[in-house]
Chains A and B, each alone.
Chain A
Amino acid sequence: MKVSTDTIVALATPGGSGAIGVIRLSGPEAIAITQQVFKGKDLSKQASHTIHFGTIRDGEQIIDEVLVSLFIAPRSYTRENVVEISTHGSAYIQEKVIKLLIQQGARAANPGEFTLRAFLNGQLDLSQAEAVADLIASHSQASHQLAIQQMRGGFSNQLKQLRDELIHFASMIELELDFAEEDVEFANRDDLKSLIYQINRVIRSLIDSFEQGNVLKNGVPVVIAGQPNVGKSTLLNSLLNEERAIVSDIAGTTRDTIEDEIVLNGINFRFIDTAGIRETQDVIEAKGVERTLDKMKLAKVIIYLFSPEQDQHQIEEQLIELEALKIPFIGLMNKTDLLTNQQNTMLKTWALLPISAQQKSGIEELKSNLIEKVNLANITTDGVMVSNIRHLEALQKTEEALNRVLLNLDSSVASDFLTSDIKQALHYLGEITGIVTTDDLLENIFSKFCIGK
């Protein structure tokens, strides 16, 4: 028996920052969905049990270099098409990839769902199945508490209010349908629209807060960039305040590093693509800014290193490029011991902070600069509301459904045809707030409107 027809996705390795992370998809569309965001070979033409190198992209932007493993049904754990994407061990990158896959039609898997599918498709034996059942059950008990824990600040209140408003909206429509003969005034379409706009605004702010929540949970992604040999790796190590064995100039070993993080003022700063930094040390002819541009777009803050060995023209050109990215950046002039007098006077004009990564001078200023750049006010814990990717998905789907309702309202579709999208909106919101039933709608109608001949 096949139970599901949709394709699910989840992180298969423990969350956090391992060396690599594996994202797993299962379902009929697993390969097609992956292909949508994967640049490399045509996955649909590859054999089962093969591994393919390529990049995951969001439009033109490269998110990560990955290895994709294919398991074609029924030769897989779940007996469905399964794709495993090995990414670098960055929680930020992994979540970004999962988000992309969801945008392409995958659904965030429920806990235990892969195993459940494996079992239902006859892949597991009974004792394993019992374990799955227990897992699911214990999750169900824990999940509510978890959800509450995840609701920080005004999240739960805001959602409750949202739910009530949506119920009210749905009731207004149902009222028109089931009680057309009653002496009640039906809501005019403009009021309904403005109600949806209101609801959508709240949903939007919750969706946006996911980004902030992510920052808190996973750290502020920081990229250190600059021309080869400006001292990026040295700076990284100075910041991390440790000499790791890994800085050994042996290409490729960076793949095994633990992700690099520092905590400043209670905020996690995570240096992404540190592997790339180290690689460029060996590759002198790297293409400079262009090559790292994509990586830089992933950052919340960019630390850009210059060296006195660069000529003035080049420095100014790169500064212009940086500005154009519209991402907060800190420009650093490394190797201050090599500074010419003329360059020294230019530092102010360029707004560059002088440091010496080698001698660890200027590092403290850099740190306080970093804290300043992330603009703490925006990501205080009070503001963070959505931090769970499943909640994010539910909110996005709610928003999509409501937008369809708006569209239908605009084209004066009869109200009974509005209801399937409204039902969907209620359904998705219900995944966070608890299911909204017909009885909830009727309850609202009976309490607010005088119904009955």
Chain B
Amino acid sequence: MFSKYDIIVVGAGHAGCEAAAAAANLGSKVLLITMNMGTIAQMSCNPAMGGVAKGQIVREIDALGGYSGIISDKTTLQFRMLNRSKGPAMWSPRAQIDRMRFAEEWRLALEQTPNVDFWQDTVTGIKLKGDKVSGVITSLGIEIDAEAVVLTNGTFLNGIIHIGEKRFGGGRTGEKAATGITEQLVELGFEAGRMKTGTPPRVDGRTLDYSKMEEQWGDDERGRFSYTDVPLVEEQRCCWITYTNADVHETLKEGFEKSPMFTGRIKGLGPRYCPSIEDKINRFAERERHQIFVEPEGWNTVEIYVNGFSTSLPEDVQYKALTQIPGFENARMFRPGYAIEYDYFPPTQLDLTLETKLVKNLFFAGQINGTTGYEEAACQGFIAGVNAHQKIKDKHELILKRSESYIGVLIDDLVTKGTEEPYRMFTSRAEHRLLLRQDNADIRLSKMGYELGLITDDRMEKVGHKIKNSDEMVDLFKKESVEPDQVNGLLEELGTSTINQKTKLIQLLSRPQVGISDLRKALDSLDKNLGEYSAEEIEQAEIKVKYESYFEKELEIVEKMKKMEDREINPDFDYQTLVSLSKEAREKLVRIKPRTLGQASRISGVSPSDISVLMVHMTK
């Protein structure tokens, strides 16, 4: 019934979809197996993409030729650039998304991608030939062959859902869990662990009183995720903010004795940065209120996502507490919040390509690796899909560096250090975050996407223009001067000191108060000169003139670290014979098999002196 596929992708969430699309676009024949074709690219939790650090990841995926950015732009309800008051490395795109349209767009995109086949079934195990994966086995008893397999099982592996004292198997509310894979992999020698996450209740938007809440609108001038010119949804929808109060907290506390969290029924570790509401009031008892974001789930649906109210308390307690929130007095609940426990595989068992070290041609991506978040999952899926293709076609691997992308930071962190709690990206995880900006993801990464064949000539040309034109503008600012009477009025207006002699534009632009658009208003010739450049190019030039010195300093650090960072370690390097290494370092190095000295230095338990010892022996 099935011909032989190049690559089978198991699971059709954010990771699975990106993996399938990338591999298929590279030319592999891909089979995407999902338990339910109706839930492809389901946003299981909040209806939003991006955010601080996450938004940068979406842009990176887009710059490499993935789909998440395009699909987000097509289905945006509201767009905001977070952190505008900070430096440009902190600017982070975030969008509220129409959940149903997002899933639909993904499905349509995959359907339109040549080389992607679909099959609705549950994979219960992988097939092996020696130490190499050779296909999958499904719950219908079908064996399907492939050269490589990408597992993106999300929260489905032995998933258990908790609502109060009730517990039942499931991968998402209303959907079955998947069994068999964990057991087989553990038997093969994989180490598995348990994690926990949760989601808030959804309510009927028609039953809320928005007049009691604060409105939260998107940016007037909206930005985007994709570097392509995918048309943006111009209209935006409002979100609201409201707060819990002492009554809400009292009600929730009544349910604590039935909470699976506090009674110890949940064993998996949950993310500390995404705590349940019961966790918040328990750990931060001194706080009188907590913020609740009221987010629409789509353009046409009345369903509302109650962001900030993740809970696994009994549904009646959830309901009662909800109705004590201002604006929620008459709320009707559509779906209760719940917690879910699931299996993951500590990601130190992976190589930087996301291939498992134990089974060749088997790749893991997404929550199965202990991460959380759509963006984190999507980028892993993309990398796994690309590398699965490259591996079976005998082409070069795609490994991104920490100094060139958040994706590189994420995968290096996972593979090198592992994670105990669901891993989410933060900008602080990136040591060179000044360089990893949302404005330059295309400049950083498109060339790699282009070389793979995922970025078109047109797009590459656009990136070239952006670099060239922004440099041209910077040169212009360095060259051109203005007389005091040309700009002093403007400078006064902007609240910065006036000038008393001819001054170079670049000096004016280095002032925090002065922007290019301000100068254009005052200087007709400049306005004309810049007329031919796109807004994106002008923004790039502005970022360069204002922050170049910081970037240069950071680049110097990168350059300094490079010798160590890029120094490759022979994969067959025999650590066991190096008695000078500490015992812990030796064990970890054997297990993790770092590719470079830089990676080795980040393994916890490997000290600088262990690195010196390694260097000595590598020079042999």
Interface of A toward B, CB cutoff 8 Å:
1-3, 5, 110, 112, 116, 119-120, 122, 126, 129-130, 132-134, 136-137, 139-141, 174, 176-183, 412, 414-417, 419-420, 423, 438, 441-442, 446, 450-453
Q: Is the CB of B619 within 8 A of A119?
A: yes
The reply to whether A417 and B550 form a contact with Cβ atoms under 8 Å apart is: yes
**Once the chains bind, are A134 and B86 in contact (CB under 8 Å)?**
no
Give chain A residues whose Cβ lies under 8 Å from the Cβ of B307: 453
A304–B427 CA distance with the chains assembled, in angstroms: 63
Q: How far is the CB of B614 from chain A (nearest CB, A)?
A: 9
Smallest CB–CB gap between B311 and chain A, Å? 12
- Tell yes or no: B429 within 8 A of A by CB: yes
Report yes or no: A137 in contact with B87, Cβ–Cβ below 8 A: no
Nearest CB on A from B482, distance (A): 24
A420 touches which one: B428, B553, B563, B582 (CB < 8 A)? B553
Apart from A176-B86, A412-B512, A438-B426, 11 more pairs, CB < 8 Å: A2-B563, A116-B616, A133-B616, A136-B580, A136-B609, A137-B609, A180-B52, A415-B87, A416-B90, A451-B273, A452-B275
Q: A2-B563, A126-B620, A177-B428 are in contact. Are A446 and B272 (CB under 8 A)?
A: yes
Q: In the complex, how many angstroms separate the beta carbon of A444 from the nearest chain B beta carbon?
A: 11
Instruction: Check A178 against B426 for contact (C-beta < 8 Å).
Output: yes
Residues of A contacting B168 with CB < 8 Å?
none
Q: Which 9 A-B pairs have the closest CB atoms?
A: A140-B609, A137-B580, A183-B291, A446-B272, A414-B87, A133-B580, A450-B284, A416-B87, A452-B274
Name B427-469 residues within 8 Å CB distance of A. Answer: 427-429, 431, 433-434
B46 near A453 (CB under 8 angstroms)?
yes
CB atoms of B553 and A438 under 8 A apart = no
B247–chain A nearest beta-carbon distance, Å: 18
- Residue of A132, A180, A183, A442 touching B83 (CB-CB under 8 A): A180
Residues of A close to B615: CB separation below 8 A:
3, 116, 120
Q: Assess A179 versus B580: contact at CB under 8 Å? Given A116-B616, A132-B616, A420-B434.
A: no
A450 touches B280 (CB 8 A): yes
Q: Which residues of chain A come closer than 8 Å to B52, judged between CB atoms?
A: 177-181
A112 to B608 CA separation, bound complex (whole angstroms): 13
Q: Could you write out 11 A-B pairs with CB less than 8 Å apart?
A: A3-B615, A129-B616, A133-B612, A136-B612, A136-B613, A137-B581, A140-B607, A140-B609, A141-B582, A416-B86, A417-B547
CA distance A141 to B427 in the complex (A): 34
A3 proximity list for chain B (CB < 8 A):
563-564, 615
Question: Out of B287, B433, B610, which one reaches A416, CB within 8 Å?
Answer: B433
- A453 CB → nearest B CB, Å: 4
Question: B427 contacts A137, CB within 8 Å?
Answer: no
Alpha-carbon distance A179/B291, docked complex (angstroms): 13
Determine whether B51 belongs to the interface, using a CB cutoff of 8 Å to chain A: yes
Contact status B616-A452, CB under 8 Å: no
* Chain A nearest CB, measured from B126 CB (Å): 33
What per-residue 1/0 map shows which CB atoms of B21-58 lie under 8 Å from chain A?
A: 00000000000000000000000001000011100000
Q: Does B613 contact A452, Cβ atoms closer than 8 Å?
A: no
- Chain A's nearest CB lies how many Å from the CB of B201? 14
B610 touches A140 (CB 8 A): yes
A177 and B434 within 8 A (CB): no
Residue of A nearest to B280 (CB): A450
CB within 8 A of A438: which of B271, B291, B429, B547?
A: B429
Q: Which residues of B contact A182 (CB under 8 A)?
A: 291
Please indicate the chain A residues that have their CB under 8 angstroms from the CB of B94 in the complex. 181
Find chain B residues with CB under 8 A from A139 CB: 609
Interface residue B129 (Cβ < 8 Å from any Cβ of A) = no
A126 to B617, alpha carbons, bound, how many Å? 9
* Number of chain B residues whose Cβ lies closer than 8 Å to a Cβ of chain A: 58
Contacts A450-B280, A450-B290, A452-B280; is A414 near B613 (CB within 8 Å)? no
- Assess whether B554 is interfacial by the CB under 8 Å rule: yes
- Could you tell me the distance between the alpha carbons of A453 and B293 in the complex, rounded to whole angstroms? 8
Contact A133–B613 (Cβ < 8 Å): yes
Quote the shortest CB–CB distance from B326 to chain A (angstroms). 15
Which residues of B line the A interface, CB within 8 A? 46, 51-53, 82-83, 85-87, 89-90, 94, 271-275, 280, 283-284, 287, 290-291, 293, 307-308, 426-429, 431, 433-434, 512, 547, 550, 553-554, 560, 563-564, 567, 578-582, 607-610, 612-613, 615-617, 619-620
Contact A178 B53 (CB under 8 A): yes
Instruction: Report the separation of the CA atoms of residues A405 and B157 in the bound assembly, to the nearest whole angstrom.
Output: 48
- Chain A residues with Cβ below 8 Å from B613 are 133, 136-137
Across the interface, do A120 and B82 meet the contact criterion of CB distance under 8 Å?
A: no
- Given the interface pairs A178-B428, A450-B290, the reply to whether A120 lies near B274 with Cβ below 8 Å is no
Q: Known contacts A3-B563, A453-B274; decide if A416 and B609 are in contact (CB<8 Å).
A: no
A414 to B550, CA, bound (A): 12
Q: Are B612 and A116 in contact (CB under 8 A)?
A: yes
Which residues of B sit under 8 angstroms from A136, Cβ to Cβ? Answer: 580, 609, 612-613, 616
State the total of A-B contacts with C-beta under 8 angstroms.
138
Given that A136-B580, A177-B427, A420-B434 are contacting pairs, would A129 and B619 also be in contact in the complex, using a CB cutoff of 8 Å? yes
Contact A446 B273 (CB under 8 A): yes
Cross-chain contact of B89 among A126, A132, A133, A416 (Cβ < 8 A): A416
| Chain A: minimal CB distance from B607 (Å) | 6
Is the pair B86, A451 in contact by a Cβ cutoff of 8 Å? no
Q: How far is the CA of A120 from the CA of B616 in the complex (A)?
A: 7
Distance, CA A310 to CA B101, complexed state (A): 103
Q: Which residue, B85, B426, B431, has most C-beta atoms of chain A within 10 A? A: B426
Closest to A139 in B: B609
Please name all residues of chain A whose beta carbon is closer than 8 Å to the beta carbon of B433 when the two chains form the complex: 416, 419
- A5 to B564 Cα, complex, angstroms: 12
Contact of A1 among B273, B547, B554, B619 (CB under 8 A): B619
| Of B83, B308, B428, B434, most A-chain CB atoms within 10 Å | B428
Nearest-neighbor residue (CB-CB) of A446 within chain B: B272
Closest to B564 in A: A3
State the Cβ distance, A407 to closest chain B Cβ, in Å. Answer: 14
Contacts of A130 in B (CB 8 A): 580, 616
Choose from A126, A180, A417, A451 the contact partner of B82 (Cβ within 8 Å). Answer: A180
Contacts of B608 in A (CB 8 A): 110
Residue of A nearest to B425 (CB): A178
For the complex formed, measure the closest distance between the CB of B576 and the CB atoms of chain A, giving whole angstroms. 15
Residues of A within 8 A of B290 (CB): 183, 450
- B281 and chain A: residue at smallest CB distance: A450
Cα-based distance from A3 to B609 in the complex (angstroms): 14
CA distance A2 to B271 in the complex (A): 43
Residue from the set A116, A119, A453 with the largest chain B CB neighbour count within 10 Å:
A453
| Candidate in A2, A3, A416 with the most chain B CB atoms within 10 angstroms | A416
Instruction: Tell me if B428 and A441 are in contact (CB < 8 A).
Output: yes
Kindly state the separation between the CA atoms of A3 and B307 in the bound complex, as whole angstroms: 50
- Complex CA gap A260/B241 in Å reads 77
- A451 nearest CB neighbor, chain B only: B273
Residues of B within 8 A of A5 (CB): 560
B419 to chain A: closest residue by CB: A439
Taken together as a complex, chains A and B put the C-alpha atoms of A181 and B582 apart, in Å, by 43
- Looking at the assembled complex, report how far the CB atom of B315 sits from the nearest CB atom of chain A, in whole angstroms: 21
Q: Is the CB of A451 within 8 A of B272?
A: yes
Q: What residue in chain B is nearest A173 (Cβ atoms)?
A: B428
Write out the residue numbers on chain A whose beta carbons fall within 8 Å of the beta carbon of B582: 137, 140-141
Contact, CB under 8 Å: A177 / B83: yes
Most chain B C-beta atoms within 10 Å of own C-beta, residue among A126, A176, A180, A415 = A180
Residue in A126, A183, A417, A442 whose beta carbon sits within 8 Å of that of B87 in the complex: A417
With a cutoff of 8 Å between Cβ atoms, the chain A residues found around residue B287 in the complex are 450
For B427, list chain A residues within 8 Å (CB). 177-178, 416
Q: Which residue of B lies closest to A411 (CB)?
A: B512
Name the distance in Å between A183's Cβ and chain B's nearest Cβ.
Answer: 4
A415 partner residues in chain B, CB cutoff 8 A: 86-87
Chain A residue at minimal CB-CB distance from B604:
A437
Q: Which residues of B contact A122 (CB under 8 A)?
A: 619
What is the chain B residue whose CB lies nearest that of A135? B580
Task: Indicate if the CB atoms of A177 and B90 lie closer than 8 Å.
Answer: yes
Q: Which residue of B lies closest to A140 (CB)?
A: B609
Separation of A453 and B294 alpha carbons in the complex (Å): 11
In the assembled complex, the CB of A436 is this many whole angstroms from the nearest CB of chain B, namely 12
